[in-house]
A and B are shown apart, each in its own frame.
Chain A
Amino acid sequence: AQTVTQSQPEMSVQEAETVTLSCTYDTSESDYYLFWYKQPPSRQMILVIRQEAYKQQNATENRFSVNFQKAAKSFSLKISDSQLGDAAMYFCALTGANSKLTFGKGITLSVRP
């Protein structure tokens, strides 16, 4: 069975500052993929960033980057230069050969102007 744990229910960041959202996971598979999804209030879920487990290099997408620590089964998301539009619920998710996503409980990020 796969599990994803997001232990921080809420975080807050000042606009233009950097914030890191934590995620740990467990899987018995050797090939798997990790994702961060963003779900703004009353809006649909969109992909922020993905990481293939076989890649050692951490994924980056503009202001978003991950710190993937495979041995520790840790997958944190760093948001640089935070913007008001970054306020949302963020979900860490994992998938393996069975294709279904396993999500964490999510973290609510608020951005202070």
Chain B
Amino acid sequence: SQQGEEDPQALSIQEGENATMNCSYKTSINNLQWYRQNSGRGLVHLILIRSNEREKHSGRLRVTLDTSKKSSSLLITASRAADTASYFCATALRNFQGAQKLVFGQGTRLTINP
């Protein structure tokens, strides 16, 4: 199963409202990242939070990380129609050879209604 699981799978809100998405993971991580994907496009990095950080802000984005619960949340404040996209969390895992790979969750499809 996927290392990261986002919740909810889909979220539809009115423009101006706040959107909260959650991510849970299973194993110890070096960091957790959030990405955005517009339909049919590549993913764009939004924000990275390290395992020793609890909260991070970037513009209208706020990310929290609770390593004891193995969970993270992404809050988008004052949502805009242009925020409509899929949002993915990704965890950085290091294998026995020292190589690092990112494992992505299933994503949350966010729709902002004007």
Q: A and B: real partners?
A: no
